[in-house]
Structure 1
Amino acid sequence: MRVKPLAVLLALLPALSLAKPLTVCTESSPDGFDVVQYNSLVTTNASADVIFNTLVSYDEAQKKVVPSLADKWDVSGDGLTYTFHLRPNVQFQQTDYFKPTRPLTADDVVFTFSRMLDANNPWHKIAGPNGFPHAQSMGLVKLVKAVTKVDDSTVKFELNEPNATFVPVLTMGFASIYSAEYADQLLKAGKETELNGKPVGTGPFVLKSYTKDALIRYDANPRYWGPKPKVDKLIYAITPDATVRAQKVRARECDIALSPKPQDVAAAKADKALKVVEAPAFMTAFVALNTEHKPLDNEKVRQALNLAFDRTTYLKTVFDNTAQPATNPYPPNTWSYDKSIVPYGYNIEQAKKLLRDAGFPDGFKTTIWTRPTGSVLNPNPKASAELLQADLAKIGVKADIKVIEWGQLIKDAKQGQHDLLFMGWAGDNGDPDNYLTPLFSCNAVKSGINFSRYCDPQLDKLIADGRSTADQAKRAKDYEAAQKIIHDEALWIPLGYPTAAAITRANVSGYRVSPFGRQNFDGVQAQ
């Protein structure tokens, strides 16, 4: 028998086995992998976006909700019952620590939501210190009457009242479907905390290892129900400094750099070895004003802070004018955006007058919280905080800057420990309620995501009324009225609507930037 040359033998091997790993430079470490406990986009990117799936997903091109783990669903005429029909033969991931004995069933969906919504569920009682922030802020405990199994492939959600946002909410990362069988295994072994470090989902990639502040390694899921990923290995190289992320792409240490600085984007556009992928972001950068802390409980003080900040200089310095000036909670291409609201201008004298009227002629002391590293919503935290500090000093407000590591900042801010907080929000599906309920509802004060800590019955009712009908014209009226309250009460300092961007090597194909900050590597490869 003739022996074939090595080159020929290698050529006969499956192409995927020789595929180059896809390395992505990310901005920070996730809080964990049990996504329901957290609300940061970094955590969603590392867990929900690659390891898990939801019942439905949001198609960004079509701008509508589409099937995922559920291949169809029915809604009753009164809008109170949603019946989801599960895709057949969806397999959970097989790992060293879990060998599933059955495919996805309605039991897994019931467990996933019972854990978040039912106080008697043992997994509800042993939730982490964060609880279930998204489920709480979105008011699902009050909204969902029951989640029941009809049969193995059918699950029914009964609501206490009609809600136009219910199905879109199920596209969010916190609605990822978990394995009830795996949860039972952990519970019986007394290893509940391992759910946060050893996740099991139905998604395209399986977590292999995680080194905090360094690397996350994933393998392609051979049991994935959808199109097989084009790479067999995915690596997140955690790189907090945005400039270093851009340098790593140039040095071929990374194939994709997330959340680059605007200046690095401009430089990459002139480099033939690189590509820039961009999209208008469904995001808003802002400074939250904690209305539970004096004197920020006074609307005149909050209005004065808005008037004192030179946002034109801020957008030029921090975003290199790549972000639109912000006025309302969500971007102007969103339906119901109220164009009649006049933004706060830059007016030092008027700001001083408002402080005098509020009883603070000599100003006051406060703190500005920010993170140490940049993101798409704040490319340069240090410059941002210093600009605000300098402007507030002009009206007698002495602000100390506190730079806090991202995970600790989120934890402390959710407990309301901050005064002024540089923050940002990314919506998940283009609906205005993606901003209004989590950032301004009373439920969101309890869950900690409402960083303004403002609970107002009138505002809360407008937000709730807007969710209760499918009539978009009626919803728009409620949301326009809500925007006016948010603006007049000056609950935050709106900063900008950024452009979402990533820098890739020229040989990377299939990667798209999501306006919502989500990550999808299913069809991406570095050739």
Structure 2
Amino acid sequence: MGKSFTKTLVSTVAFAVALGAAGFSATASAATLRMAWSQDATGLDPHKQTAFSSLRLLELVYEPLVRLDKDLKIIPALADSWEFSEDGKTLSFKLDPEAKFQNGNKVAAADVKASFERLMAEETGAAARANFLSIETIDTPDDTTVVFNLSQPDVPLLTAMTSINAAVVPASEIEAGTIGTKAIGSGPFKLDQWEPNSKEVLTANKEWAGGEVKVDGINVSVLPDETAILAALRTKQIDFALLNDPLVATLVPNEASLTLDRTPVLNYHVLQLNPSRKPMTELGVRQAISCAVDRQDVLDTALLGEGKVSGPLTMPAYASDPSQLFCYERDVEKAKKLMADAGYADGFSATVIAATGEPPTAAAEAQVIQSQLAEIGIKLDIKMMELNVYVDTWLKGDFDMAVALNGGRADPYSMYNRYWTKAGNLQKVANYIDDTLDDLMQKGRVETDPEKRKEIFAAFEKHLAEVSPWIWLYTAYSYTAQQKNVTGFVPSPTGSLFGLTTVTVGE
């Protein structure tokens, strides 16, 4: 790997230098952060986007009512304060009276109401719609007060509101039908220019109610080859980079001029099966696949061991020992017996889809899984897709299997209800539900006792691993690299780049 990487690095240094005039500003102000990432946003509608690359951009422009800090605690964003009623059936917010959208208009209760009505409307196709279906009505007694009236107590609702998929957008832009065609938020940065798959230009929002942004702006270059990003860091053409490929990130500490932030994240790597397609309709076949996959081997081969094997629940407060879950220790003989008992002793053929670049290890993960499943007679054809094509295909549930990197959440319900409840808006992606999963999710939604919630979701995780609609693999790290003169970035277990608000660029 060393020689081939060196050769690639030499060529990409030349590539990055050649890109300088177009992609990097040699005369950029010291207070402008020059940044690069390998995957660009696939759209600008914060309510609809599911790709990590989209969320990383939009969280700099839009704001939710509340957000998570680096310790996964809920803190103010657009809302100064909030309170559940004693019976748990209303959730009230007081908005920051200084909050403004980037068009100069104040953020008002009417904007919050319009935003949530939009993302709850089925025709919107909002990514997190299922998280908010307990909301029956929304009252706005004055411009800075919003009251959500709920059909039932909903403990994880507040956590769900921390997502950028629950961003507050201007009611006027909803009415004009311009959400997704331009980005007008209330966040720390304004999106001045977006050239898809090329660059973004952001300027600091001087009227951001959240405080002072330490840089004048961020110039983002999209470089699909992360070795080119590392080369640009080495030659000081960029100040800061988001890295996804551990093969590249683990080389950063070798560079004396650079610093690497390596943070465990809640996002999970998973092999998604489609239980609506034969033979994955058979429990024994799905379980056989789970028993045949060596999760640690996939992790070691595709990610250089940069992560840890995980069950479905990745948040520290609820995560369990994955070795206690169904077939987390590889057992090929058990897998073969399960296949035979299900009527597939001779195996079958299937296609697995994977996205180019997100994660960058997707192809390697698919290849290792392909080799492992071949041992029980499953012939996998790997189909690589550009990210936007993959996302569209994935959202339609149009696959036999999919290698995926999915987002984690601080609460199990808000993380999984869109897949594993009967009303989940991504049920057509999961293509599986049973009464046990739905019942446990509903119990976890209303239970207020933390220890009882842990018991409920432990049972949920155990059952989910046993029925094996997906094969959970592991969690990994988020990586950011920066020049030594770039300070103040605060990484997050969610992978958020919101910590760029406190970055300073020195001489």
- Residues 235-275 of structure 1 show CA distances to partners (whole Å, capped at 9, x for unaligned) of 22222233332222223232222134223233211211110
Match of 1:427 among 399, 408, 413: 408
Map residues 261-280 of structure 1 onto 2, 5 A cutoff. Answer: 261-280=245-264
Q: Does 1:382 align with 2:382?
A: no
Percent of aligned positions with the same letter in both sequences? 27
Map residues 86-485 of structure 1 onto 2, 5 A cutoff. Answer: 86-94=95-103, 100=104, 102-118=105-121, 127=124, 131-135=125-129, 137-138=130-131, 140-141=132-133, 143-184=134-175, 186=176, 192=177, 194-326=178-310, 328-331=311-314, 333-335=316-318, 337=320, 340-341=324-325, 343-375=327-359, 379-428=360-409, 430-444=410-424, 447-448=425-426, 451-485=429-463
Deviation for aligned residue 1:322? 1.5
Q: 1:35 aligns to what SS in structure 2?
A: coil
Cα contact 1:274–1:505 (8 A) shared by 2: yes
Cα contact 1:245–1:260 (8 A) shared by 2: no
Q: Does 1:54 align with 2:35?
A: no
Deviation for aligned residue 1:338? 5.8
C-alpha distance in structure 1 between counterparts of 2:139 and 2:321, whole Å:
40
- Residues 384-435 of structure 1 show CA distances to partners (whole Å, capped at 9, x for unaligned) of 111111222222111111001111111111111111111122224x222243
Deviation for aligned residue 1:441? 2.3
Q: Does 1:509 align with 2:493?
A: no
C-alpha distance in structure 2 between counterparts of 1:511 and 1:450, whole Å:
38
CA separation of 1:18 and 1:409: change in aligned 2, threshold 3 A: closer
Cα contact 2:313–2:319 (8 A) shared by 1: no
Cα contact 1:91–1:104 (8 A) shared by 2: yes
Deviation for aligned residue 1:469? 1.8
- Residues 197-253 of structure 1 show CA distances to partners (whole Å, capped at 9, x for unaligned) of 211111111111111111111111122112221111212222223333222222323
C-alpha distance in structure 2 between counterparts of 1:181 and 1:214, whole Å:
30
Cα contact 1:415–1:448 (8 A) shared by 2: no
- Residues 122-149 of structure 1 show CA distances to partners (whole Å, capped at 9, x for unaligned) of xxx5x4xxx11211x32x23x1011111
RMSD: 1.9
State the AA in 2 paired with 1:440.
W
C-alpha distance in structure 1 between counterparts of 2:247 and 2:226, whole Å:
10
Q: Does 1:524 align with 2:507?
A: no
CA separation of 1:212 and 1:332: change in aligned 2, threshold 3 A: closer
C-alpha distance in structure 2 between counterparts of 1:59 and 1:414, whole Å:
29
CA separation of 1:235 and 1:450: change in aligned 2, threshold 3 A: farther
| Greater CA drift, 36-45 or 250-259 | 250-259
Q: 1:417 aligns to what SS in structure 2?
A: coil
- Residues 288-316 of structure 1 show CA distances to partners (whole Å, capped at 9, x for unaligned) of 11111110011111111122223232111
Q: 1:443 aligns to what SS in structure 2?
A: coil
C-alpha distance in structure 1 between counterparts of 2:46 and 2:155, whole Å:
24
C-alpha distance in structure 1 between counterparts of 2:68 and 2:326, whole Å:
32
State the AA in 2 paired with 1:459.
L
Structure 1: where are the runs of 5+ without partners? Answer: 1-16, 95-99, 120-124, 187-191
C-alpha distance in structure 2 between counterparts of 1:39 and 1:337, whole Å:
26
State the AA in 1 paired with 2:362.
P
Q: 1:254 aligns to what SS in structure 2?
A: coil
| Greater CA drift, 482-491 or 329-338 | 329-338
CA separation of 1:503 and 1:207: change in aligned 2, threshold 3 A: same
C-alpha distance in structure 2 between counterparts of 1:67 and 1:310, whole Å:
42
Q: 1:462 aligns to what SS in structure 2?
A: helix
CA separation of 1:170 and 1:239: change in aligned 2, threshold 3 A: same
Q: 2:179 aligns to what SS in structure 1?
A: helix
Q: 2:268 aligns to what SS in structure 1?
A: strand
Cα contact 1:283–1:330 (8 A) shared by 2: no
- Residues 36-91 of structure 1 show CA distances to partners (whole Å, capped at 9, x for unaligned) of 012222111111x1111111111223x32112211112221101111111111322
Number of the residue aligned with 1:45: 56
TM-score, normalised to structure 1's length? 0.86
Cα contact 1:31–1:38 (8 A) shared by 2: yes
State the AA in 2 paired with 1:419.
D
Cα contact 2:109–2:145 (8 A) shared by 1: yes
Structure 2: where are the runs of 5+ without partners? Answer: 1-27
Deviation for aligned residue 1:109? 0.7
C-alpha distance in structure 1 between counterparts of 2:433 and 2:244, whole Å:
35
Number of the residue aligned with 1:34: 45
C-alpha distance in structure 1 between counterparts of 2:385 and 2:248, whole Å:
25
C-alpha distance in structure 1 between counterparts of 2:29 and 2:250, whole Å:
34
State the AA in 2 paired with 1:493.
I
Q: 2:430 aligns to what SS in structure 1?
A: coil
C-alpha distance in structure 2 between counterparts of 1:424 and 1:334, whole Å:
21
Cα contact 1:462–1:482 (8 A) shared by 2: yes
TM-score, normalised to structure 2's length? 0.90
C-alpha distance in structure 1 between counterparts of 2:481 and 2:327, whole Å:
33
C-alpha distance in structure 2 between counterparts of 1:511 and 1:118, whole Å:
37
C-alpha distance in structure 2 between counterparts of 1:77 and 1:383, whole Å:
51
Deviation for aligned residue 1:155? 1.1
CA separation of 1:114 and 1:312: change in aligned 2, threshold 3 A: closer
C-alpha distance in structure 1 between counterparts of 2:243 and 2:418, whole Å:
23
Number of the residue aligned with 2:90: 81
Deviation for aligned residue 1:346? 2.2
CA separation of 1:389 and 1:155: change in aligned 2, threshold 3 A: same
Match of 2:81 among 63, 67, 72: 72
| Greater CA drift, 154-163 or 480-489 | 480-489
C-alpha distance in structure 2 between counterparts of 1:456 and 1:338, whole Å:
24
| Greater CA drift, 389-398 or 460-469 | 389-398
Q: 1:116 aligns to what SS in structure 2?
A: helix
Number of the residue aligned with 2:471: 493
State the AA in 1 paired with 2:502.
G
- Residues 14-33 of structure 1 show CA distances to partners (whole Å, capped at 9, x for unaligned) of xxx94342122223121211
CA separation of 1:279 and 1:50: change in aligned 2, threshold 3 A: same
| Greater CA drift, 38-47 or 152-161 | 38-47
